[in-house]
Amino acid sequence: MKLDPEKTVHTTRVYYDDGTMRETLDWRELPNDGVLMVVIVRVDGSRRTMSQRDYYFQAAGVHDYIFGETNNVNDLQRYTTDAILRGKWASDIIFEAARLDAQQ
């Protein structure tokens, strides 16, 4: 398997139910509740979106961070997590605003 350095995570954008977005690579500095969506942005500009989950987590990986999402709290025990964020549902208008912003 050949690793492509361009696929390394550059930053993450975390969207909250109060309409705010925080951009960082270190989730330990983020509010841990009210997450609507997480967008992982790689060095090459490609993205992965995680949404509609109860929990999002960040853990140290061998070459990069591990980012995951789950609805089962027991799944979190499989990793030594650096940070756990709790998802939350919001009105459709707030979720749609986050979704549209995440596409930019």
List, for residues 80-104, the tens digit of each pLDDT value: 888 999 999 999 999 999 999 998 8
What pTM was estimated for this model as a whole?
A: 0.90
Query: What is the 3-class SS of 9-78, one letter each residue?
Result: EEEEEEEECCCCEEEECCHHHCCCEEEEEEEEEECCCCEEEEECCCEEEEEECCCCEEEEEECCHHHHHH
pLDDT for 17: 95
pLDDT for 36: 96
The pLDDT of residue 4 is above 80: yes
Give ∠ CA 11-16-21 in degrees, rounded to 5: 45
**pLDDT, tens digit (0-9, with 9 covering 90-100), for 39-85:** 999 999 999 999 999 999 998 887 788 899 999 999 888 888 889 99
